[in-house]
Amino acid sequence: MNESTDDCKINSRVCGEIQNPIPNKHFAVINPSKMCQPMGAVQALLGVRGAMPLIHGSQGCSTYMRFQLCRHFREPVNVSSTSMSEGTVVYGGEANLLKALETIWKEYKVEIIGVTSSCLAETVGDDMGLIIRKFRKKHPDEELPSIVPISTPSYSGSHVDGYDKAIKSLIENLAYSTKPNGKINLITGNISPADIREVKEILELLDIESIILTDSSESLDAPHTDSVSFLPSEGTTVDEIKDTANSKATVSLSRHADSGAKFLEKRFDIKSVSGFLPVGLQSMDGFISSLCRLNECEVPVKLEKERGRLIDAMVDSHTYNYGRKVAIYGDPDVVAALARFTSELGMIPSIVCTGAKSNRFIDDMKIVAEESCSSPVVLEGCDLYDLHQQIKENPVDLLIGNSYGARIAKKENIPLLRMGFPIYDRLGAQRMPIVGYKAGIGLVDMLANTILENYYDESGHEIGSE
């Protein structure tokens, strides 16, 4: 990820242009709009069949991961820990990591162990790669699972970076070239299981063989059965990750999770394609066009009809959505995509906020501003306190983001449409798609109905219009 130098950037308002950002407060982070890197790495690993995420850090780190993931996805999640303590700060965590690897290998039938670091392990300076090699030397004649070290210091970056680093580490450590497979690698980024299922359906409809990096559509939204699995029983296999070096292209849905794609392009000369997260009309059109070019195929009639229904829904809702000011916060790709889609609906993305530091986010918002001739306040590398202050100065009609914005919505008396991660005060986050034409129709209805519920009376007349 490209990082900016200022702690927080707020851009001045000029129609169709984002101008010189100026630094805001530096004294503290209040109610952050991001999570730590290991959180994203764990989400990526949970999309790999037979994977066990192992946090090389204190017990509290893995507990926090399980807590957040369970209350968002409403699924049991297992995350191991090396349980570092005060003593390991002095003597290092090598013994803890060796013991954890031994225990996981013997007690669980794992196919892969993803060892992610934490702030404690990074501060101590443990060389996880060296420790893993020592573990392998200790068992030279035994068949061990794949073990992948992932550097994810909690004190820098965000969960978006953690996801990206996990995907890149999986590819770096496992992928190798054999013979062309004719497939397309697809890096999803931090999207919901429902979104991944929608992407898989689109690929099937286009008759594209693919390798999903990584596929959590079943592990984080599993059907209820009589059995309980401690490991993801479905998802991307280790063999598929190895085979990514033989694909003809890699498509990244996230601009902030394309490091693995760039590695494949540099090492194995595999074409890398990325763009806006395919939310709404224009971004989805770009995604479908890229897939059709790569696979040399035509757009199926079914997708054309879904696109037409989305346009029809946009026309139906225009009366209610037009001119409504929106504040959007969360992951940079999701925020930029939703800002683009709301502007397509005639809404005004007045304020956008992400906790991640990213020049790519700034560039994406420049595109949105130019396309819509809007002038959003762009908060990059900022927290929800900064967002709240901007909403006080520039009131909006609607707030879009995760559950952490509920206090702002209540205090400012504006509706909150919950999207992103985490959502813990509502059910169904894992089943709520935003990617694709069909999901776009649902989003249009949700937006319009939220406006109707809050700004129109029971007779359908706009409150305060007379």
Is residue 164's pLDDT more than 80?
yes
- pLDDT score recorded for residue 24: 60
What is the pTM assigned to this prediction?
0.92
CATH 3.40.50.1980 positions along the chain are: 9-30+301-455, 37-166, 184-295
Least confidently predicted of 18-22, 117-121, 405-409, 418-422: 18-22
CATH tag for 9-30+301-455 (out of 3.20.20.70, 3.40.50.1980, 3.40.50.300, 1.20.58.100): 3.40.50.1980
Which of these, 304, 257, 303, 310, lies nearest to 280 by C-alpha position?
310
> Please, how many CA atoms are within 13 Å of residue 51, restricted to the half-sphere of its CB?
31
Q: What is the mean pLDDT of residues 244-248?
A: 97
Question: Which residues are CB-neighbours of 67 under 8 A, at least 6 positions away?
Answer: none
Distance, in Å, from the CA atom of 426 to the CA atom of 423, rounded to the nearest integer, reads: 6
pLDDT of 274 reads 93
| 90 against 340, higher pLDDT | 340
Fold (CATH) for 184-295: Rossmann fold (3.40.50)
DSSP states of 26-46 as a string? Answer: -S---SBS---HHHHHHHHHT
For the stretch 413-458, pLDDT in tens is 999 999 999 999 999 999 999 999 999 999 999 999 999 999 987 7
What phi and psi, each to the nearest 5 degrees, are found at residue 209? -75, 135
Report pLDDT digits (tens) over 300-311. Answer: 999 999 999 999
- Label residue 205 by pLDDT band (50, 70, 90): very high
Q: Which CATH class is domain 37-166?
A: alpha beta
**Alpha-carbon distance values, 222 to 45, 51, 233 (Å):** 16, 16, 10
- Whether the predicted pLDDT of 6 surpasses 60: no
Query: When comparing pLDDT for 242 and 231, which is higher?
Result: 242
Residues 6 or more apart from 285 whose CB is under 8 A from it? Answer: 307
- Kindly state the average pLDDT of the residues 306-320: 96
Residues 338, 343, 348, CA angle at the centre, nearest 5°? 100
264 pLDDT more than 60: yes
Average pLDDT over residues 204-208: 95
